[in-house]
Amino acid sequence: MTLDDLLQDKRRLFWVLQFIGWSGWAMSFYLGVLVWGEPPENYTWYLPVVSAIGLAITLGLRWLYQRTWEASLGRRVFAILAGSWCAGAGWMACRATIFASAFPEEHAAQDTGKSEFLSYFSGSISAFWVMLVWSALYFGIKYYLLAQEEKQRSLKAMSMAQDAQLKMLRYQLNPHFLFNTLNAISTLILDRDTKLANDMVMRLSRFLRYSLDNDPMQRVTVAEEVDALKLYLDIEQVRFGDRLTLHFHIDQGAANALIPSLLLQPIVENSIKYAIAQSVGGGSIGVSASIVDGQLQLQVADDGPGLDLRNGRMPKGGGVGLVNIRERLKQLYGDRQSFRLSATEPHGLTITITLPVERRIPGDRKP
């Protein structure tokens, strides 16, 4: 059993700590007796019995503390002090009775002129401190476990909220893309180009099947992402024909690096919308992936009219697709990522994404 498993099982943890604590008290007390003198004969059975009695008495303290857990601070402090004193006095009475009965000669030799009451009272103070320390440890450990539980619940809630936000951002992409594609198919049908419309529907179905079959929280390799991107570009190739020229440059070292699924599709869609569709002669789009200075660098560049960029950002934050990509990357990577827009020479727009290099563990199909 690991430590984490033990911390999860509070009942077992309580008994393990009880055994360790009272065993430690018995050993330390026995060592003290050895230092100050010779222990009585058959003394080895006395300490385990006394420890067991102390353990049993602390079960009563535990019951008391559980009953007063929701009480006011003053009542809890009173319960701790009064309970520890009563527990210590009762434990000391048991110890004194057993010791006097089992070791009468040693008990008589301990008489230093003090009255029986003073001897008992002095011993009760020592026992009180033992019970008070036990109480402090009980509350300390209990509050620690509660704090850990609250921390786990908080982390789980944050993780669930993050997953929900990422899925929301991810699912916003499909309706955006689907609207544009269906609009193009509608145009082809109105132009009575049924063969081209049918080809576009078939390619759309392949892309949507891929999109729906993949978990939006899943990370895929760059090579898998490029394959999915080509499914999307098959659709756009039907729309634009020779007006759309594509260039892919995927370095071998970057091909198996992991990225969020369907990360590049909305970027390429943005280039098609603003660079290809608005140009009579069409244009070209280049997609590249490489390892630069130990980080994965993804680039999508077009030769369209470009944009008036300020500080590497589109005016007013850009379209839905690019805004969602920024948010997804922030949620997934925090400050370990960058999303930068720059001008393509002599004209056009280049979007550069830099991510930490992550790869699949051998034997795992999914990260």
**pLDDT, tens digit (0-9, with 9 covering 90-100), for 80-137:** 999 999 998 888 888 888 888 877 766 666 655 455 555 556 677 888 899 999 999 9
- The pLDDT tens digits of the residues spanning 256-272 come to 999 988 788 888 888 88
Name the pLDDT band for 207 (thresholds 50, 70, 90). Answer: confident
Output 163-171 pairs: Cβ under 8 A, ≥24 positions apart.
Answer: 163/217, 165/327, 165/331, 166/216, 166/217, 166/328, 166/331, 166/332, 167/216, 167/217, 169/324, 169/327, 169/328, 169/331, 170/216, 170/217, 170/261, 170/262, 170/324, 170/328, 171/216
Domain definitions of the chain by residue range: 3-164, 172-356
Instruction: Check: pTM over 0.85? Answer yes or no.
Output: no
Instruction: Give the DSSP letter string of 310-335.
Output: BTTB-GGG--HHHHHHHHHHHHHHGG
Task: Select from 1.20.1250.20, 3.40.50.720, 3.30.565.10, 1.25.40.20 the CATH code of 172-356.
Answer: 3.30.565.10
Q: pLDDT per residue over 13-36, tens digit each? A: 888 889 998 988 888 888 877 777
Q: Which residue, 250, 252, 245, is CA-closest to 225?
A: 250
